[in-house]
Amino acid sequence: VEIVCNSTIKHMNYHPTNSTIAITVSNSTSTQTHGFCRLTIPHEIMAPPYNVTVDGNPVEYKIIFENETLGIIYFTYQHSTLEIVVIPENSTLMTMTLMLTITSTLTLITIIKKKRIQNP
Protein backbone atom coordinates (compact mmCIF):
# COMPACT_ATOMS: atom_id res chain seq x y z
CA VAL A 1 0.00 0.00 0.00
CA GLU A 2 1.35 3.39 -0.96
CA ILE A 3 0.12 6.48 0.91
CA VAL A 4 0.34 10.09 -0.24
CA CYS A 5 -1.18 12.61 2.16
CA ASN A 6 -0.67 16.03 3.68
CA SER A 7 -0.99 14.68 7.22
CA THR A 8 1.52 13.16 9.61
CA ILE A 9 1.17 9.38 9.46
CA LYS A 10 1.53 8.07 13.00
CA HIS A 11 0.78 4.40 12.31
CA MET A 12 -0.09 2.23 9.33
CA ASN A 13 -1.12 -1.39 9.68
CA TYR A 14 -2.30 -3.95 7.19
CA HIS A 15 -4.15 -6.93 8.62
CA PRO A 16 -4.06 -9.72 6.00
CA THR A 17 -6.46 -11.99 7.88
CA ASN A 18 -9.37 -9.69 7.04
CA SER A 19 -7.81 -7.39 4.41
CA THR A 20 -7.99 -4.28 6.58
CA ILE A 21 -5.81 -1.19 6.25
CA ALA A 22 -5.69 1.01 9.37
CA ILE A 23 -3.91 4.37 9.35
CA THR A 24 -3.62 6.89 12.18
CA VAL A 25 -2.97 10.44 10.99
CA SER A 26 -2.67 13.84 12.63
CA ASN A 27 -2.39 17.38 11.35
CA SER A 28 1.12 18.33 10.22
CA THR A 29 0.87 21.86 11.62
CA SER A 30 -1.25 23.47 14.34
CA THR A 31 -3.12 25.50 11.72
CA GLN A 32 -3.94 22.60 9.39
CA THR A 33 -7.70 21.99 9.40
CA HIS A 34 -8.19 19.63 6.45
CA GLY A 35 -6.33 16.62 5.17
CA PHE A 36 -6.33 14.32 2.17
CA CYS A 37 -5.12 10.82 1.43
CA ARG A 38 -4.38 9.10 -1.83
CA LEU A 39 -3.99 5.36 -1.35
CA THR A 40 -2.63 2.92 -3.91
CA ILE A 41 -4.06 -0.48 -3.04
CA PRO A 42 -2.87 -3.59 -4.90
CA HIS A 43 -5.81 -5.85 -5.76
CA GLU A 44 -3.87 -8.83 -4.44
CA ILE A 45 -4.30 -7.47 -0.90
CA MET A 46 -7.74 -5.89 -1.31
CA ALA A 47 -10.03 -5.83 -4.31
CA PRO A 48 -12.57 -3.04 -4.78
CA PRO A 49 -15.11 -1.85 -3.88
CA TYR A 50 -13.93 -0.45 -0.55
CA ASN A 51 -15.48 0.91 2.64
CA VAL A 52 -13.50 3.89 3.94
CA THR A 53 -14.13 5.33 7.39
CA VAL A 54 -12.54 8.19 9.31
CA ASP A 55 -12.98 7.79 13.07
CA GLY A 56 -15.75 5.29 12.39
CA ASN A 57 -17.69 7.57 10.04
CA PRO A 58 -18.05 6.55 6.39
CA VAL A 59 -16.42 8.92 3.91
CA GLU A 60 -16.86 9.15 0.17
CA TYR A 61 -13.83 8.45 -1.93
CA LYS A 62 -13.00 8.86 -5.58
CA ILE A 63 -11.34 6.17 -7.64
CA ILE A 64 -8.75 8.19 -9.53
CA PHE A 65 -7.15 5.21 -11.28
CA GLU A 66 -7.78 1.51 -11.58
CA ASN A 67 -6.42 -1.33 -13.67
CA GLU A 68 -6.14 -5.13 -13.37
CA THR A 69 -3.57 -4.98 -10.56
CA LEU A 70 -4.34 -1.94 -8.39
CA GLY A 71 -6.70 0.85 -7.50
CA ILE A 72 -5.90 4.40 -6.42
CA ILE A 73 -8.45 6.16 -4.23
CA TYR A 74 -8.61 9.74 -2.93
CA PHE A 75 -10.56 11.22 -0.03
CA THR A 76 -10.49 14.22 2.30
CA TYR A 77 -11.25 14.79 5.98
CA GLN A 78 -11.34 17.48 8.65
CA HIS A 79 -8.33 17.37 10.89
CA SER A 80 -7.29 16.28 14.34
CA THR A 81 -5.75 12.92 15.21
CA LEU A 82 -7.85 10.45 13.23
CA GLU A 83 -8.07 6.78 12.45
CA ILE A 84 -8.68 5.86 8.82
CA VAL A 85 -9.84 2.32 8.07
CA VAL A 86 -10.20 0.78 4.61
CA ILE A 87 -11.89 -2.60 4.28
CA PRO A 88 -13.37 -4.53 1.38
CA GLU A 89 -17.02 -3.66 0.90
CA ASN A 90 -18.08 -7.25 1.57
CA SER A 91 -16.63 -7.21 5.11
CA THR A 92 -19.09 -7.24 7.95
CA LEU A 93 -19.75 -4.38 10.33
CA MET A 94 -18.51 -6.56 13.16
CA THR A 95 -15.11 -6.98 11.53
CA MET A 96 -14.81 -3.23 11.04
CA THR A 97 -15.79 -2.56 14.65
CA LEU A 98 -13.29 -5.12 15.90
CA MET A 99 -10.46 -3.60 13.86
CA LEU A 100 -11.30 -0.08 15.06
CA THR A 101 -11.22 -1.30 18.65
CA ILE A 102 -7.91 -3.12 18.22
CA THR A 103 -6.24 -0.22 16.42
CA SER A 104 -7.54 2.33 18.94
CA THR A 105 -6.26 0.21 21.81
CA LEU A 106 -2.82 -0.13 20.21
CA THR A 107 -2.70 3.62 19.58
CA LEU A 108 -3.64 4.34 23.20
CA ILE A 109 -0.95 1.96 24.48
CA THR A 110 1.65 3.68 22.28
CA ILE A 111 0.64 7.13 23.57
CA ILE A 112 0.79 5.98 27.20
CA LYS A 113 4.23 4.43 26.68
CA LYS A 114 5.54 7.64 25.08
CA LYS A 115 4.22 9.73 27.98
CA ARG A 116 5.88 7.39 30.50
CA ILE A 117 9.21 7.71 28.69
CA GLN A 118 8.92 11.52 28.58
CA ASN A 119 7.76 11.83 32.21
CA PRO A 120 9.54 9.13 34.24
pLDDT in tens, 18-77: 889 999 999 888 888 899 999 999 999 998 999 999 999 999 999 999 999 999 999 999
Give me the mean pLDDT over the 69-96 stretch.
82
pLDDT at 36: 94
68, with CB counted inside 10 A (0-12, 13-18, 19+), is: exposed
97 pLDDT higher than 70: no
pLDDT at 120: 63
pLDDT band at 95 (very low <50, low <70, confident <90, very high): low
Give me the mean pLDDT over the 94-105 stretch.
68
pLDDT at 96: 59
Q: Which domains does the chain have, with CATH numbers?
A: 2-118 (2.60.40)
